[in-house]
Structures are given as structure tokens and as C-alpha cells.
Amino acid sequence: MNLTTKEITLVAIFPALMAATSWLTIPIGIGAPITLQTLFVMMAGLILGKKLGTISVFVYVMLGAIGIPVFAGMQGGIGVILGPTGGFIIAFILMAYLSGIMKNIKIINNEYIDLFLILIFINFIVYMIGGTYMSFIINTNLSSTVGILGQYIFGDFIKIVIAIYAYLNIRSYVTYEHTEIWKWNKSFDIQINLTRLF
């Protein structure tokens, strides 16, 4: 896979942001602490798309896995991934991919609400993966796991709103959507013009 200099730069932005804010945490006990990292994961998928967004978050996970302190609380190492919060970290990769691939789905033809519903659904999937993994590692029952996950809901709602607002306001400057649409329209116009000539 060959990436341009611009693509490499964009891919590097989100791991850097996640690493730089890894010290901003709100501990909740057994579960993963509340952080800003899911905000940047969603933004990576929305802004960079499914391929670059997924690569960006994968790079972040790999940096943490080899010991660089980029995870919540400035932690690093494979032990974090194998610990109770590891399921959430692994699910970040899927979160970025789904955010990139599902962002253009139309539900009620209101872009903001469509994105809001899509990101809620994606966060629910992350809850399921992270919660199941955590429950297995620390051997908790369903009610205890649901109670832990419930502590994330309010903060995640706020992060979803911020991610959507940021995406809708900066996508024309950094996302590849505009370029792809322009290229398709240009090709379409050329085909029309050639048809008229013949």
C-alpha cells in the first residue's frame, strides 16, 4: 500500500492527538477510564474515511502495544491490551472503520441526526465488544458490566456531538470526499462531451 505524503501526515495526526491527551482521564474504578480518545477515533473515521481512518487508529494501537505510553493514563505495553480495558482499545479499530464506511448512510435525510444515530450505534458496538472482553477478564456478571458501561453514556453523547460538529465544519478542508466527488463529476462530464461529439 503506497500512501502519499499528505495521507501519511493525516494518518499521523490522530495517533498524535490521542497520545497527547492520554493523560486526561477520569477513573471509574474497574472499567476503562473516561478519556477523549473515542472522540479522536470517531473523527479519524469521519474525516479520513474507512481506509486511512482505520490505518490511523491501527497505528495508535500498535504504538501502545509495543510499549509507548499512548493509552489512557499514559500507559503502554501489551499488558494493557490483555487487561480489562483491552477490548475497548481493540474495538477502536473497528470504530474508525465503521465511522468511515457508515457516515454517508441516510436515515431521515438530516445529516446531523443521521450521523448522531450512526455514531450511537457504533458506540454501542464498542460497548458490546469492550464490555464482553472486560467481563471475561475480570469475571463479572451482566448487571455489573452494564453498570460500568452506563458510566460512559453521558460523556460519549457529548463526544459524539463534538465529533459531528468538527467533521461537518472541517471536512471540506481535509477530507477526501470533495476530491472524489469532483473527480467523478469531471469524468462524467468528459463522457457526456465525448458522446455529443460522436
Contact in structure between 172 and 48 (CB atoms under 8 Å): no
137-179 tens-digit pLDDT: 988 888 888 888 888 999 999 999 999 999 999 887 765 554 4
| pLDDT score of 195 | 37
Does the pTM surpass 0.85? The reply is no
Q: For helices 111-138 and 86-102, give the axis angle rounded to 10 degrees.
A: 160
Integer-rounded Cα Rg, in Å, for the chain is 19
Place of cell 492520554: 22
76 vs 48, 63, 71, 81, 172, CA distance in Å? 25, 8, 6, 9, 35
CATH 3.40.50.10880 fits 5-197, yes or no: no
| Domain locations along the chain | 5-197
Q: What is the DSSP string of 129-149?
A: HHHHHHHHHHT--HHHHHHHH
- What's at 29, amino acid-wise? G
Cα separation, 92 vs 37, whole angstroms: 9
Cα separation, 145 vs 138, whole angstroms: 10
pLDDT < 70 positions in the chain: 1, 174-198
